[in-house]
């Protein structure tokens, strides 16, 4: 019989408790158990960034994180960044500025932008490039993503007023 462990954590503000195999990867848990298909899997080696989530506020490639490591912690995904018909400010900025084309990297980019803007509310282009460099986009050429992050910073400042 395969060993199982129980973990308790929060996903997008909702408490979860799961019995998992120690080898379960966070991306698989999110996608397979919770149908969170916004967490994209592509390289499955932690280098493309499509599966980026925030674990206790820190961006992480969920395809290379064992699920047991989030026990007692919080996980934020693209699903928690807005609601159907009511996108969050970073999502709105990406839509306004065309910061996506095929959309595959977009959830990871939005999660990176969210973490960046929490840490640095008014980043310059160099800082934006540095933060998004861990996510591969094959479609946009990155300028529209940079524009989107800048616009998201503006929207967040407007909301804070």
| Domain boundaries along the sequence of the chain | 5-80, 89-160
In the predicted model, what is the mean pLDDT of the chain? 94
pLDDT score at 149: 97
pLDDT of 41-92, one tens digit each? 988 888 899 999 999 999 999 999 999 999 999 999 999 999 889 999 999 9
Q: Tell me the two tokens of residue 137.
A: 């986009």
Q: Which residue from 12, 39, 160, 4 is spatially nearest to 89, judged by alpha carbons?
A: 160
pLDDT score at 101: 83
Domain 89-160 belongs to what topology? DNA polymerase; domain 1 (1.10.150)
Q: What is 5-80's CATH number? A: 3.10.20.30
Beta-bridged to residue 53, according to DSSP, are: 60
pTM over 0.85: yes
Question: Band of the pLDDT at 1, cuts 50, 70, 90?
Answer: low
Q: Is pLDDT above 70 for 123? A: yes
pLDDT score at 47: 87
Decide: 97 and 147 in contact? Cβ < 8 Å: yes
Read off φ and ψ for residue 47, nearest 5 degrees. Answer: -115, -15
């Amino acid at each position: 019989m395969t060993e199982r462990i129980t973990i308790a954590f929060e996903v997008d503000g909702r408490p979860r408790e799961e019995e998992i195999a120690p080898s379960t990867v966070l991306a698989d848990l999110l996608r397979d158990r919770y149908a969170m298909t916004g967490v994209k899997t592509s390289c499955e080696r932690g280098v493309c960034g499509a599966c980026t989530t925030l674990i206790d506020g820190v961006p992480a490639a969920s395809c290379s994180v064992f699920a047991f490591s989030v026990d007692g912690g919080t996980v934020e995904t693209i699903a928690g960044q807005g609601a159907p018909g009511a996108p969050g400010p970073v999502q709105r900025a990406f839509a306004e500025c065309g910061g996506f084309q095929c959309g595959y990297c977009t959830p990871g980019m939005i999660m990176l932008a969210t973490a960046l803007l929490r840490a640095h509310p008014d980043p310059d282009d160099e800082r934006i490039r540095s933060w998004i460099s861990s996510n591969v986009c094959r479609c946009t050429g990155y300028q529209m993503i940079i524009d989107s992050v800048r616009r998201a910073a503006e929207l967040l400042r407007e909301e804070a007023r």
